[in-house]
Amino acid sequence: MADVAARAGVSRALVSLVFRNAPGASEQTRERVFQVAEEIGYRPDSAARLLASSRTKVLGVTITLRHPFHAEIVERIYPVAEELGYEILLSAVAPTHSEHRAIDALLDHRCEGVILLAEVDEHYLSTVGKKVPAVAVSTRATGAGVDLVHSAEAKGVRQALDHLITLGHKKIVHIDGGDGAGSTERRRAYRAAMRKHDLAGFARVIPGDHTEQAGVRGAELMLSEGELPTAVLASNDRCALGLLDALRRAGVRVPDDVSVVGYDDSHVATLSYIDLTTVHQDVEGIAQRAVRAVVERIEGTGSESREIVLEPSLVVRGTTAPPRSV
């Protein structure tokens, strides 16, 4: 900063005002300071500036790598945070980097609040909520004392099942998401919908998770048994993609032989060669509500912990059709 000041012919204090976008410098001076800074390759040390302040104006976000739904939420989080005057710091969960480590990294960087897209157990979520304002997305940990933002999972599953049953399907299998976000509610809603339509005798849940590998394993299991269901509700779009790939490699035609429904309506579901029927989650609404909820807590305008539920909707594309017998 001293180098910029000397070269621009102004004081170091004036350079500081310019880079903090504070009043006190003319437009001509600002342009000169920025020009000199660019010439000598100077960038303000934001970390040092934050250390001198009691506020960081940074929100931390945990994500799971290779999860397209998380990527789409993050993309929409940025403009909302910017509108409210906050920056975003991401921390990824990976096989060698646990949820706890991802969150601790954000806290170590003095994030004022955190938005948790990656799954975390309720006990640790409660601990995090006592340290910093926190919002958990797609989690139903109502006893954790943090704000929750999620879709009405059961309603989305009912819409998917109603669609398949209206087409004439009875043998509908669900590959579940294990202990992943929303999985318990989706599994429970699947069984309830099958009972409601007097199809409990056809109901079957294959254990899985929210990955492509779960879809592949589910397909391999069903193929090995020699008799396929007429429709499959996958735990999410990633699981559905693995299922589609394994079925097509085995010569099974989708939707002629088996209909497939996903959950999330991620970007890949819209690709012409995927064309996946899936339950749409309001990504824009989730991002908006999550950012505003955590900022309200930071700024002291939030109430007690709350649960914000958004409406899902079924998007019918090319992977569902009536079963061949109908």
HSE-CB of 126 using CA atoms within 13 angstroms = 9
The pLDDT tens digits of the residues spanning 241-266 come to 999 999 999 999 999 999 999 999 99
DSSP three-state, residue 173:
strand
pLDDT at 271 (0 to 100): 95
Residue type, 237: D
- pTM value surpassing 0.75: yes
Contact between 306 and 144 under an 8 Å Cβ cutoff? The reply is no
Using H for helix, E for strand and C for coil, what is the string for 93-152? EECCECHHHHHHHHHHCCCCEEEECCCCCHHHHHHHHHHCCEEEECCCCCCCCCEEEEEC
pLDDT at 303 (0 to 100): 66
pLDDT at 66 (0 to 100): 80
| Domains identified in the chain and CATH numbers | 1-52 (1.10.260.40), 58-150+282-309 (3.40.50.2300), 153-281 (3.40.50.2300)
Q: Of 304, 306, 272, 270, nearest to 289 (Cα)?
A: 306
- Residues in the chain with pLDDT values less than 50: 326
The pLDDT tens digits of the residues spanning 155-184 come to 999 999 999 999 999 999 999 999 888 899
Question: Which pair of tokens denotes residue 126?
Answer: 């409660």
pLDDT at 181 (0 to 100): 84
pLDDT at 47 (0 to 100): 56
147-151: strand order across its sheet: 87-93, 58-64, 113-116, 134-137, 147-151, 307-310
The C-alpha atoms of residue 99 and residue 139 are separated, in whole angstroms, by 14
Angle, nearest 10°, between helix axes 68-83 and 237-249?
150
φ/ψ of 26, rounded to 5, equals -70, 165
The C-alpha atoms of residue 267 and residue 186 are separated, in whole angstroms, by 21
